[in-house]
Amino acid sequence: MTVNIKASFAFEFEQPTSALLQFEAADLPEQEILDCTTNITPTEHFARVGAQENIGERIWIRGEGLIEVDYTAKVQPRRELYDLAELSALSPHELPGEAVSYLLDSRYCPGDEFQSLVMKEFGDTSGGARIAAIRDWIYNHFTYAPGSSDPSTNATESFVARQGICRDFAHVLVTMARASTIPARYVACFAPGVEPPDFHALAEVFLADPELPGGGTWQIVDATGMADLNNTVKIGVGRDAADVSFITSFAPMNFRNSNVEVSADD
């Protein structure tokens, strides 16, 4: 299978402004980049730097006025998916240091506030079965409603609102996983099947690897149920959306528009 991606977006800076972009498919063993093109309106500065966990790259620009970004890619994902409910968790003291920080509170995912709730609502499950139960609970209790949340919405607010977009679904899942002492991170991605088409987000949780005794691996989970996980293409990862936004501006920005098309073919 090949996943074809076309993404474009535009924004405007009122004054010379530095911004961080992250919107390209990451080059990873689980997804081979067959072909890609990136075009950005020329700016004063342009620099690439490795992104979080060295998954993908962040692009620094510094510019003014209207800036347009066009991106196309052809990607071949080869992802081995497990049945989440079959995977067990590692004990906290067995976790590698890199995974531990994904247990801690972040901007939009205050796991500590959810500890009692997950114990009460999901206390009879553990490991991957706990994650699957949380995923299904979110899927069944939330409405996917573009416009119902904004970039400052956190998981506590989303949990009460019972609605949001992919970002909010992922934040709630990440937060409840952390409250369950299971490391969880946020994944920006491209995925066929997202309706309306847009950048997508889902979560990854760190669980025992069935083929690696004592070790763990990150498993993707989508509480929206929209993404075809075999054909999902990762852009980057982070503690939450603050780490892997497709644009992070360091001065006022006017967002103009975006368009994303993702399709999978044989």
In the complex, the residues that contact its own copies under the rule CB under 8 A are 18, 20, 45-47, 49-52, 54, 58, 60-62, 91-97, 100-101, 103-107, 110, 112-117, 119-120, 141, 143, 150, 156-157, 159-163, 179, 181, 238-239, 242-243, 248, 250-252
- Min dist. Cβ of residue 241 to its own copies (A): 9
Q: With respect to its own copies, which residue has the nearer C-beta, 31 or 153?
A: 153
Q: Which of 51/191 has CB closer to its own copies?
A: 51
- Closest approach, Cβ 80 to its own copies, in A, equals 27
Count, residues in the chain? 266
33: how many CB neighbours lie within 10 A of its CB?
A: 15
- Whole-angstrom Cα distance, residue 147 to residue 142? 14
- Least spacing, CB of residue 78 vs its own copies, in Å: 26
Structure-block tokens of residue 85: 């409910």
Residue with Cβ nearer its own copies (247 or 262) = 247
| Least CB distance to its own copies at residue 143 (A) | 7
Nearer to its own copies, 103 or 133 (CB): 103
